[in-house]
Amino acid sequence: MSTKSLDSALIPEGADRCPLWQFLLAIAVVGAVLLWGVYAMFLCWFKGLNQTNMNDYYGFALWIWADLAIIALGGGAFFSGFLKYLVGKDELKNLINYAVLIGFICYSSALLILAIDIGQPLRGWFIFWHANVHSMLTEVAFCLSCYFAVLTIEYIPLILENRQLNRVAFFHHLAHNMHGIMAIFAATGAFLSFFHQGSLGGVAGVLFGRPFGFREGVLIWPWTFFLFTWSAAACGPCFTILVTKLTEKITRKKLVPDKTIWLLAKISGWMIGTYIVAKIIDTWYWATVTVPAKGQTISQFYSDNPLYGMWILILEVVICGVVPAVILISKKGRESNGGLWTAVILACIGVSLNRWVMVLQVLAVPVLPFDSWAMYIPSWQEVATTLLPVCYGIILIMISYRYLPIFPKERELNAAPAPAPVTDAQPEPANA
């Protein structure tokens, strides 16, 4: 490792970073995949959505799943902000910058995917101009855009803390003052997130023509509204922990104190635990009351097709729900390296699987008695455009990590151990 690179003046003081060539090579490798995604994106924009394998049965597919999943996983930003600034968990200050960055990546990616997904991208603004207040998507669009603006505001002071930018007095004071009022943005973010995470849950929950997705609820909100918000608050922090641990592995450095990780893991564990209880109650009520009232049985939703079986429900609720909750709630579980890795990976898979089921399985299940299951395999253009934001995220993390003081405890945690004091005293001989 060397700090004497061409760009060393931009690197945070005292931080050790890989040589510039290594950094650029890594950017080039990830960038190649990103360019592949950009090519596919332009194909979709110029040639239309016939580039996908979507059809009239599968109007929503891989992209909408990716959208819902990254928004859920990005929930770590709003929930960590809520815990730090509103609940007063000050320990999270060691992780909050990274949570904001991950959230920023997730939400900007979600907006990009939506821009590719719509049939007439140039008319995208109609959702604001001709807004239908009854539509869950309208609520999603408004809250998502506003929250992205909040995340941008939260990310700006981090950029301004770059070693060179921070030398400019105006930027220095601006960053300082923005940090000072961050609680207001954290509160705004938490409020907006409650609604857009919920509205995404409502997208499938309000479909009274689709018994698989439909849920009863309170007033205009189906139960999925609350379950989505809850699951995002529960599993989003797990994604933040997962990305942090991955970053530590790749950089071979300790970036966040264990105490901070364990605190977030504990809170996440209790959130997942309570969420999964609510999810089980919801599933039970849906299977025994809602679905039979529509003339169907739960077994019809999990049979007679090549993919969707009961295994998916067990995987989501038990293996990726109950198991991570139990691990994270137990002190021994969350403080063991293997336990923590297992739990956060399972939680991320669980919430992503939930979003898959609530988008793709909803459309796969036949509703007309004389109709059949619809299966779908994404085209390479869909896969490439889904990998595009992943690559963009990796690149933004690489740049931010290299040039911005994302981890306030990095220096302290990676300081070389002080040399042992030299004394003339001879060690006492061991008893013979």
Partner 1 sequence: MKQEQGYKKFGMVIDLDKCTGCGACMVACMAENNVPFKQDETDKRLSITWMRVYKLTNGKPYPDTDICYLPRPCQHCEGHDGHSPCVSVCPATATDYDMATGIVSQIYTRCFGCRYCMAACPYHARYFNWWDPVWPDGMEKSLNPNVSVRTRGVVEKCSFCYHRYQLAREKAFVEERRDIEEGEYQTACTQACPSAAITFGDLNDPSHAVYELKKNPNAFRLLERLGTNTKIYYVSSREWVRRSGDNYLKHEPTGKVH
Chain residues binding partner 1 by CB under 8 A are 48-50, 54-60, 117-121, 123-124, 126-127, 129-132, 134-138, 141, 203, 206-211, 292-297, 362-363, 367-371, 374
Residue 195, classed as helix, strand or coil, is helix
Measured CA to CA in angstroms, residue 414 lies from 254, 337, 406 at distances of 6, 19, 14
| CA quadruple 331, 335, 338, 343: dihedral sign | positive
Pick the closer one to partner 1 by CB: 53 or 166.
53
Residue 364: both structure tokens together: 């796969």
Pick the closer one to partner 1 by CB: 130 or 332.
130
* Alpha-carbon gap, residue 117 to 102, rounded angstroms: 22
Residue 65: both structure tokens together: 């799943």
Identify the helix (H) or strand (E) that includes residue 218: strand 217-218
> Minimum distance from CB of 120 to partner 1 (Å)?
4
Pick the closer one to partner 1 by CB: 58 or 147.
58
> Minimum distance from CB of 136 to partner 1 (Å)?
7
> Minimum distance from CB of 89 to partner 1 (Å)?
36
Nearest one of 146, 110, 148 to 128, comparing CA atoms: 146
* Alpha-carbon gap, residue 80 to 266, rounded angstroms: 13
Residue 367, classed as helix, strand or coil, is coil
> Minimum distance from CB of 290 to partner 1 (Å)?
11
* Alpha-carbon gap, residue 54 to 175, rounded angstroms: 45
Pick the closer one to partner 1 by CB: 54 or 327.
54
**In contact, 182 and 154? CB cutoff 8 Å:** yes
Amino acid (one-letter) located at 229: T
Pick the closer one to partner 1 by CB: 126 or 270.
126
> Minimum distance from CB of 111 to partner 1 (Å)?
14
> Minimum distance from CB of 230 to partner 1 (Å)?
23
Pick the closer one to partner 1 by CB: 118 or 329.
118
> Minimum distance from CB of 387 to partner 1 (Å)?
22
Q: How many CA atoms lie within 13 A of 144 on its CB side?
A: 28
> Minimum distance from CB of 109 to partner 1 (Å)?
18
Axis crossing angle, helix 136-160 with helix 169-180, rounded to the nearest 10: 130
Pick the closer one to partner 1 by CB: 270 or 284.
284
Pick the closer one to partner 1 by CB: 7 or 304.
304
Q: What are phi and psi of 17, to 5 degrees?
A: -130, 160
* Alpha-carbon gap, residue 66 to 78, rounded angstroms: 19
